[in-house]
Amino acid sequence: MLAGKHESRMETAKLASWMKQSKYTVVLTGAGMSTESGIPDFRSENGWWRRIDPRSVATKEVLYADYTLFHEFYSMRIRGLTCCKPHKGYYILAQWEKNNIINSIATQNVDRFHQIAGNHKVYELHGCIRTIRCDSCGTAHAMGDFLDGSGCTGCGGRLRPDVVLFGEALPRDTWEKAMTDIERAELVIVIGTSLQVYPVNQLPFMTRGRIAYINNEIGGDSHQFDLFIKGKAGDILCKLDEIITS
């Protein structure tokens, strides 16, 4: 236990020194970044996909075959956001962007917490659950229209959150921008993701720079990373910030 803590302190110091050297750093986040804000991730013990089969709620087929279930699942997730807010780690990332310590964030998260905390250059690779559109004609609608079960006011189509459902393509422009940034990065910091979902799990390895991975458990092959820091995202970000700003 003591050895583990000691090791994590050394690794954190090493990452801080890499951050100081790097002229272009990109952060990639996943659901583990938001668990300390009270939002469940997908594959941990309390994760969504441990309770519900994603194919039964998060596909285009379900949107049409069982709108009641689709609507219930996404309404629950949207309502769940109202009592949560970004934790300290989010505000550290926002400050780092302001101070040119990091250049951009690519995220799989749909909660928009990075922007709420103050980051501007954010690539939402899996969309955003706070914005609603008609699946048929694309017209934007208010969140309330979705929550109260309305159809599209223009064409009568089904309303849905602007998230990427299983089987749908990622937003191309966003993906390309994230990929370009990661390719040119001297350092990529991956935070709170199991790296199980394609194609985002390929992104970190497109860089020619270093790759650091912060997670409370090792996901994938540890040899793929130049550095692994085991721990809670918020805690590690606070520690890194202390070192960088001291």
* Nearer to ligand OAD among residue 196 and residue 202 (C-beta): 196
Binder among 36, 124, 181, 241 for ligand OAD (CB under 6 A): 36
- Of 23 and 38, which has the nearer Cβ to ligand OAD? 38
Residue choice 159, 164, 182, 240 for contact with ligand OAD (CB under 6 A):
164
Both tokens assigned to 154: 């223009």
Catalytic residue at 126? yes
Q: Which of 8, 22, 28, 32 binds ligand OAD (CB under 6 A)?
A: 32
How far is residue 37's CA from residue 234's CA, in Å, rounded to a whole number? 9
Q: Tell the smallest beta-carbon distance from residue 122 to ligand OAD (Å).
A: 14
Closest distance of CB 154 from ligand OAD, Å: 26
CA pair distance 16, 56, nearest whole angstrom: 42
Neighbours of 215 (CB within 10 A): 24
C-alpha–C-alpha distance, residues 179 and 58, integer Å: 25
103-132 binders of ligand OAD (CB under 6 A): 108, 126
Q: Which two tokens stand for residue 232?
A: 């809670």
Looking at beta carbons only, is 44 or 75 nearer to ligand OAD?
Answer: 44
| Kind of pairing between the strands at 140-141 and 127-134 | antiparallel
Of 87, 114, 126, 141, the active-site residue reads 126
- The site for ligand OAD, by CB under 6 A, has a size of 26
User: Minimum CB separation from ligand OAD for residue 26, in Å?
Assistant: 16
Among 54, 80, 118, 157, interactor with ligand OAD by CB under 6 A: 54
Is 152 or 236 the residue whose CB approaches ligand OAD more closely?
Answer: 236
Whose tokens are 């229209």? That residue is 145
- Residue 194 contacts ligand OAD per CB under 6 A: yes
Q: Does 42 bind ligand OAD (CB under 6 A)?
A: yes
Cβ-based nearer residue to ligand OAD, 184 or 232: 232
Catalytic machinery residues: 126
Binding positions for ligand OAD, rule: CB under 6 A: 30-32, 35-36, 41-44, 47, 54, 58, 108, 126, 164, 192-194, 196-197, 215-217, 219, 232-233
